[in-house]
Structure 1
């Protein structure tokens, strides 16, 4: 993704509900990309201190994913229901753990 803003709007214009949902989904994608980037960098380094910092940053990005996902679920009830269905399907296949 690398910092592209897909919602090219005038700064004074409010986003529509659908644009907000799209922006949240794109933000989640950006956070997931960041997690992968930081973990890839950590694997490529020899310096243990730098690895530790990058892994910690990746962990913080995972928190951001959780925050954005929770907000998305609160604003998009269809998305929330589909996530619940997906979790149920996995539980059915793997058993409750």
Structure 2
């Protein structure tokens, strides 16, 4: 395979599309594909992890903002009394 065909084939493999493309036939091509698929899969997984972390961080900031800006109720005061002695310390 030429370089761009090989690159396209590996990208299709990394994204698990596959499409039944022909595999690498030379030893050098197979070594390239092995390394590229392993590294590429890790990078794709890391990318999705970053997206998930950004989403979780955004939701957490929103939750903190909601908690800090709402008015305190009697229920909140009772919940803050951890040892049930009637005093919030």
Does TM-score exceed 0.5, indicating one fold?
A: no
Which of these two proteins has the greater Rg computed from alpha carbons?
2
Name which structure has the greater RCO, CA cutoff 8 Å, separation 6+: 1
Q: TM-score range by the shorter chain?
A: 0.3 to 0.5
Give the TM-score, by structure 2 length.
0.37
